[in-house]
């Protein structure tokens, strides 16, 4: 599977959920104090992402 979410610790010691394609990070969340919060962020992205609007400047 080329796409995946990865939970890692950042330099501040917080948990960050990253979305990766192969080895490249596409986007990441803010830092969280617990892995459970990072998992909740992933769940929210999976739940709400498919219906999210796309905004572009004109």
Q: Could you tell me the two tokens for 44?
A: 């929210």
Domain residue ranges in the chain: 3-49
CB of 27 closer than 8 Å to CB of 19: yes
The stretches of 1-56 forming alpha helices (DSSP H) are 35-48
What is the model's pLDDT at position 2? 85
What is the model's pTM?
Answer: 0.83
Residue in the structure block whose two tokens are 């459970």? 36
Q: Is the pLDDT of residue 1 over 70?
A: no
For 12-54, the pLDDT digits (tens) are: 999 999 999 988 999 999 999 999 999 999 999 999 988 889 9
* Domain 3-49, second-level architecture: 2-Layer Sandwich (3.30)
């Amino acid at each position: 599977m080329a796409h995946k979410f990865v939970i890692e610790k950042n330099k501040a010691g917080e948990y960050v959920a990253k979305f990766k394609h192969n080895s490249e990070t596409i986007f990441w969340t803010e830092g969280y104090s617990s892995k459970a919060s990072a998992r909740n962020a992933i769940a929210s992205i999976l739940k709400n992402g498919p219906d999210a609007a796309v905004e572009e400047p004109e």
